[in-house]
Structure 1
Amino acid sequence: MRKGLLGALLATAVLVIYAFAIGRAVVALLGSGEAVGIAIGVCLIVVPFLALWYIGREWWFAVQVQRLANELHAQGGLPVDDLPRSPGGRIDRAAADAQFVLRQAEAEAAPDDWRAWFNLGFAYDASGDRRRARESLRRAVRLHTTTPTSPT
């Protein structure tokens, strides 16, 4: 199991346990009649819902990216992760950066192709830029949902 998936499952489980554990305190604070108690009670309700919304959004994003990966795999277009690695498993940065340049050129040449943005997202990730990796993958998902699917 991937570390990211394990972390997401753990964070989700902790949030669910927190929501149940804090429920009694929320009821007591809201029923206290004190302005401060009510304000704290409201925060104890709002924060978990915001966290649940965020976690749900991230799970949905992961499902969508996996769907794209499955589709690319079925088409025979899923890129192979063959970047050289150190004995500790770290990706060779120079090789990742060289692959990134190629993937970026592909995305620039085909700005409406979700496959190019999907591949660029993983090139960003290999180069260590997680924020841009997520942006590229989100763009791939948007393009995939707004354009008709056609084989490569």
Structure 2
Amino acid sequence: MAVKQKDPRPLVLMIGFMVLAMIVYLALLSRLAIRLLQSGGAVGIGMGLGVLLLPLLGLWIVFQTLRSGIEHQRMSAAVDEAGRTLIVEHLPHRPSGRLERDAADELFAQVKAEWEADPSDWMSTYRIARAYDYAGDRSRARQMMRRASEGYRAAVRAD
């Protein structure tokens, strides 16, 4: 059963705008860094180097975030295509939209048993990462999602 997908265009436009704004900001910071470096003073050069590192760090963060988001979307689509998406709409939710604790724990127990049967399967690892998130354990969810990403990349390379 496929989950109904929202129209991604507004989100893509928002991300595009944010990336464009970040590029403008990084260009302005780079210009400031160059001016500081050209000042010739030790303090100016030191600050110029520091300010120059900020745009580079910003570019790296933007690149990694977009790369990770795109990869997670691809993994989600592959899991959905395989019919292994975690369906949680039928489970009880709090007014905030989060799953009720007991329901999340029960879902987690089911997915954990599946994962323990084959921890090398990236789809099972993806599913347990989602289950950790539903259960409220975000740090373990991120850890398992990184592991799922590694398995996904290995599977893509093998194909």
**TM-score bracket, shorter-length normalisation:** 0.7 to 0.9
Gaps of 5+ in 1: none
Q: Does 1:134 align with 2:142?
A: yes
Task: Tell me, in whole angstroms, the C-alpha distance in 1 between the residues paired with 2:69 and 2:54.
Answer: 23
Q: 1:62 aligns with which of 69, 75, 85?
A: 69
Q: 2:43 aligns with which of 24, 28, 36?
A: 36
Spell out, residue by residue over 1:87-144, the C-alpha distance to the aligned partner (whole angstroms, 9 max, x if none): 3323212211221122222212101111110100111111122221122112112112
**Given residue 125 of structure 1, which amino acid in structure 2 is its aligned partner?**
D
The aligned runs of 1:6-25 (5 Å cut-off) are: 9=15, 12-25=19-32
- Give the structure-1-normalised TM-score: 0.82
Q: Which runs of 4+ in 1 moved over 4 A?
A: none
Aligned 8 A contact 1:118 1:136 in 2: yes
Task: Tell me, in whole angstroms, the C-alpha distance in 2 between the residues paired with 1:57 and 1:16.
Answer: 15
The Cα RMSD (Å) is: 2.4
Task: Tell me, in whole angstroms, the C-alpha distance in 1 between the residues paired with 2:125 and 2:87.
Answer: 16
User: Structure 1 residues 53, 104: closer, same or farther in 2, change over 3 A?
Assistant: same
- Give the structure-2-normalised TM-score: 0.79
Gaps of 5+ in 2: 1-5
Task: Tell me, in whole angstroms, the C-alpha distance in 2 between the residues paired with 1:145 and 1:20.
Answer: 33
User: Structure 1 residues 132, 12: closer, same or farther in 2, change over 3 A?
Assistant: farther
Query: Counterpart in 2 of 1:81?
Result: 88
Query: Counterpart in 2 of 1:100?
Result: 108
Question: Could you tell me the percent identity over the aligned residues?
Answer: 33
Q: How many residues align?
A: 146
